[in-house]
Amino acid sequence: MEISILFYVFAALTVGSAFVVVFSRSVIYAAFSLLFTFMGVAGLYVLLSADFIAVAQIMVYIGGILILLVFGVMLTRKATDVEVRSGTVRTLPALIIAGIVIGTLIHAFTSAQWLQVEGVPDIEGTTLELGELLMTTFVLPFEVAGILLLVAVMGAALIARQEVK
**Is 139 among the residues that bind other proteins (CB under 8 A)?**
no
Verify binding: residue 106, other proteins, rule CB under 8 A.
yes
Which of 90, 113, 124, 140 is in the footprint of other proteins by CB under 8 A?
A: 90
Contact in structure between 45 and 7 (CB atoms under 8 Å): no
Which member of 82, 83, 87, 136 binds other proteins (CB under 8 A)? 87
Rounded CA gap, 54 and 125, in Å? Answer: 12
Closest CA to 82 of 33, 26, 31: 26
Interface with other proteins includes 13 (CB under 8 A)? no
Please identify which residue in 129, 135, 139, 143 interacts with other proteins, judged by CB under 8 A.
129
Min CB(150)–other proteins separation in Å: 10
Tell me the C-alpha distance between 14 and 32, whole Å.
13
Kindly state whether residue 11 participates in binding other proteins, applying the rule CB under 8 A: yes
Calculate the CA 132 to chain-centre distance: 25
58 is an interface residue for other proteins by CB under 8 A:
no
Q: Let me know: does 19 contact 35? Beta carbons within 8 Å.
A: no
130 binds other proteins (CB under 8 A): yes
Distance, CA of 66 to CA of 22 (rounded, Å): 16
**Binders of other proteins in range 27-56 (CB under 8 A):** 27, 30-31, 34, 37-38, 41, 44-45, 47-50, 52-53, 56
